[in-house]
Amino acid sequence: MSTQDLTIPITAPPRPWRDRIGTWAPILVLAPSLAASFVYVFLFTAWTLYLSVSNSSLLPSYDFAGLQNYVSLWSNRRWNIAYTNLFLFSGFYIVGSMAVGLLLAILIDQRVRGEAVWRTIFLYPLAVSFIVTGTVWNWLYNPVDGIQALVRSLGWSDFSFALTADRNYAIYAVIITGVWQSSGFAMALFLAGLRSVDPDLVKAAQIDGASAFRTYRKVVLPTIAPIFLAVAVIQIQFAIKTFDLVAALTRGGPGVSTTFPAIYVYDLMFQRGQIGEGAAAAVMMLAALAVVLVPYSFWVVWRRRRESGHG
Amino acid sequence: MAEQAAALLFDAEAAAASRRHFWTRFAIYGVLTFFAAIYLVPLLVVVFNSFREQEEIARNGLISLPQTFRLDAWRDAWSSYCIAGTCEGMKRNFFNSLWMTIPATIISTLLGAINGYVLSKWRFKGSEVLFTCMLLGVFMPGQIALMPWAFVLGKLGLTNSTYGLILVHVIQGISFTTLFCRNYYLGIPDDLIKAARIDGAGFWRIFRKIILPLSPPILIVTVIWQFTGIWNEYLFGVVFTSGQQQPITAALVALTASGTTARAYDVMSASVLIGALPPLLIYLLGGKYFVRGLTQGAIK
């Protein structure tokens, strides 16, 4: 009897209303953001997915049309150019900016003077928009006013550098500019990685008489291998979403030679009134991202589990 | 004798080593300077040309040291240059961008902080799954949301308005800001929160008294990230607004596309710099935080 009398008030105190709201507060606070994100991520994706199998043209329509948009997409020559460009660009862009970024990171890591100044110089393009970069490089590539004119005026009168004027080479102008813009990003990540390498490991290699080059190749770089993968994945993501850079640099031209998937989507949806096929192209972009990101995130989760399991 | 010979030998070896050292350093700084030049030349070209006279640019080419200096191009670019028939310069678009970026940055950062607080310190059943779903927003390409957004903005009467763009950027930004803040708050010891709860502090009190005072580093990172990202965004700006409502990125593309005759590189250079300055200033002032955001956003 007496114990019950004592325990009841302790285990079940009358809860004031403020308290009851208090327990719901976290969920209530989260709810609007959650709802908005869910609409954005799931509803909007499903919506576009549906548009891609509808017969929408100038206006969205919700009559089911099967895979007709996908068939016409994949038989379109311009889409063919778009994804060929994407592969070409991704390859050169990733390898190029990782190579330059790694070189710069290793050089800066040699205890150079004014490290902050070097880093600031190599990273500033990232603060600036692709629109600004693209616009300025468009001028530099201009054969009449830009780099070609400069070199010719210095005396090399048949020097030719007119990438953006040539449909076979314009894609390389996009690649060069892309590498210029983002090798600083690779540098920042590599530098962070180099700084996290255990200095004892490096010292041990040096005591064993390994040259600086060998030390990097055999000891340092293997330990930062995950960073290579992270940089590559992020840059593939950038590449798939490439839109602004091309819009400002070449506008997809000359002709359609620098069309990218994102440019294609925009063009079909808003310039040509082929919403259904544009949506199909957008879905293909999403699929491409998923192909890259889903395995990668599984790998990251797996690695984390393994690490926490061991340690 | 032997000692002297050894000393000489040692000296020769040391001299060779220091010579090698000198050339290594020389090569390191040489390569760094080479790349620094490649990075800086485009910026210098634009800065110089914004102060040069148009005739001088036409005569000496785009890439050349300035021989004239004037501010007219900046004045024209700001207030009187014509883009597609309206002669108001970039100032309207500059303010469009500013009044879009500031509210969107503040709202998305605050929401991110609160969401991150809930998802790290008030976890409930299923909160991790919900977080993962929110995270998908980080990777979604804007293209997949274009038609739905066009419809929603139309229904809300926010087509061709800065408010519409604010809404789009806030909702797109929530996933980023939540991710940043949650990961940071995970580092705050749970015991701190537990102790406060035992002392009777509730949800908001803990947020105000414990979490917020510890938040400045992550809030600065998030604000910088959001500000530069939203300011530099182009796709939504060009799709959902037109003409006088466009943010500066879209206006810049319109400006440089409109030149049919000889390009007015002086005014265009000044316009480009007007569009680039806010994020550049933020980068120079908050460089450390900018880099931190970059590496965190990338690796996590």
The verdict on residue A5 lying in a domain is no
pLDDT band at A180 (very low <50, low <70, confident <90, very high): very high
Contact A60, B147 (CB under 8 A): yes
Specify whether A150 is located in the same domain as A27. Answer: no
Sort out which chain A residues have CB atoms less than 8 A from B172's CB and list them: 40
Contact status of A55 with chain B (Cβ, < 8 Å): no
Specify whether A173 is located in the same domain as A274. Answer: yes
Please list the alpha-helical segments (H only) found in B162-215: 162-185, 190-198, 203-206, 212-214
- The per-residue pLDDT of chain B, averaged, comes to 87
Sort out which chain A residues have CB atoms less than 8 A from B32's CB and list them: 104, 107-108, 112, 118
- Asked whether residue B111 carries a pLDDT value surpassing 90, the answer given is yes
- Asked whether residue A70 carries a pLDDT value surpassing 50, the answer given is yes
Out of A156-160, A231-235, B100-104, B218-222, the most confident range is B100-104
Q: b or e along A84-105 (b: 16 or more beta carbons within 10 Å of the residue's beta carbon)?
A: ebbeebbebbbebbbebbbbbb
Give the percent of chain B with pLDDT over 70.
93
Residue range of the domain that includes A25: 16-52
Residues A269 and A279: their CA atoms lie apart, in Å, by: 8
pLDDT band at B94 (very low <50, low <70, confident <90, very high): very high
Mean per-residue pLDDT for B292-298? 70
- Asked whether residue B84 carries a pLDDT value surpassing 50, the answer given is yes
Q: How far apart are the first and last CA of chain B?
A: 65
- Contact between chains at A124 and B39 (C-beta distance less than 8 A): yes
Contact B108, B101 (CB under 8 A): no
B 226-285 near A (Cβ less than 8 A)? 228, 231-235, 238-239, 249, 252-253, 256-257, 263, 265, 268, 272, 275-276, 279-280, 282-284
pLDDT at A74: 93
- The per-residue pLDDT of chain A, averaged, comes to 86
Specify whether A31 is located in the same domain as A141. Answer: no
- Asked whether residue A12 carries a pLDDT value surpassing 70, the answer given is no
Query: The dihedral of CA B208, B210, B215, B216: what is its sign?
Result: positive
Please name which of A132, A239, A246, A228 lies closest in space to residue A189, comparing C-alpha atoms: A228
Segment B248-285, tens digit of pLDDT: 999 999 887 765 456 788 888 999 999 999 999 999 98
The verdict on residue A251 lying in a domain is yes
Mean per-residue pLDDT for B72-96? 84
Q: Which of B52, B132, B136, B143 is the best residue to mutate to test the A interface, defined by the most A CB atoms within 10 Å of its own CB? A: B143
Segment B53-64, tens digit of pLDDT: 888 888 888 888
The verdict on residue A4 lying in a domain is no
- Asked whether residue A17 carries a pLDDT value surpassing 70, the answer given is no
- Contact between chains at B202 and A121 (C-beta distance less than 8 A): no
Please give the C-alpha separations between residue B29 and each of A104, A110, B33, B99, in angstroms, as whole numbers: 11, 10, 6, 43
Mean per-residue pLDDT for B134-151? 90
pLDDT at A311: 44
Tell me the count of A-B CB pairs closer than 8 A: 239
Specify whether A48 is located in the same domain as A104. Answer: no
Specify whether A20 is located in the same domain as A128. Answer: no
- Give the CATH number of the domain where residue A238 resides: 1.10.3720.10
The verdict on residue A73 lying in a domain is no
Residue B197, CA atoms < 13 Å, CB-side half-sphere: 11
pLDDT at A27: 86
Specify whether A91 is located in the same domain as A131. Answer: yes
Specify whether A41 is located in the same domain as A186. Answer: no
The verdict on residue A188 lying in a domain is yes
pLDDT band at A24 (very low <50, low <70, confident <90, very high): confident
- Asked whether residue A8 carries a pLDDT value surpassing 70, the answer given is no
DSSP collapsed to 3 states, A88-101: HHHHHHHHHHHHHH
Specify whether A163 is located in the same domain as A263. Answer: yes
The verdict on residue A70 lying in a domain is no
Q: What count of other Cβ atoms lies within 10 Å of the Cβ of residue B22? A: 10
Mean per-residue pLDDT for A138-144? 87
Contact B235, A246 (CB under 8 A): no
The verdict on residue A64 lying in a domain is no
Mean per-residue pLDDT for A121-135? 92
Specify whether A48 is located in the same domain as A82. Answer: no
Segment A107-119, tens digit of pLDDT: 999 888 999 899 9
Q: Is A125 exposed, middle or buried (0-12, 13-18, 19+ CB in 10 A)?
A: buried
pLDDT at B208: 92
Please name which of A174, A175, A141 lies closest in space to residue A251, comparing C-alpha atoms: A174
Specify whether A48 is located in the same domain as A122. Answer: no
pLDDT at A5: 47
Contact status of A289 with chain B (Cβ, < 8 Å): yes
- Asked whether residue B2 carries a pLDDT value surpassing 80, the answer given is no
Residues A281 and A82: their CA atoms lie apart, in Å, by: 10
Task: Of A137-151, B71-85, B163-177, B276-290, give the lowest mean pLDDT range.
Answer: B71-85
Q: How far apart are the first and last CA of chain A?
A: 51
The verdict on residue A219 lying in a domain is yes
Domain count, chain A: 2
Task: Of A9-18, A220-229, B195-204, B282-291, give the lowest mean pLDDT range.
Answer: A9-18
pLDDT at A2: 44
- Asked whether residue B297 carries a pLDDT value surpassing 70, the answer given is no
Structure-token match 């797996």, residue found:
A302
- Asked whether residue B87 carries a pLDDT value surpassing 90, the answer given is no
Specify whether A237 is located in the same domain as A295. Answer: yes
pLDDT at A4: 45
Specify whether A34 is located in the same domain as A165. Answer: no
Mean per-residue pLDDT for A143-164? 83
- Quote the DSSP letter at residue A268: I
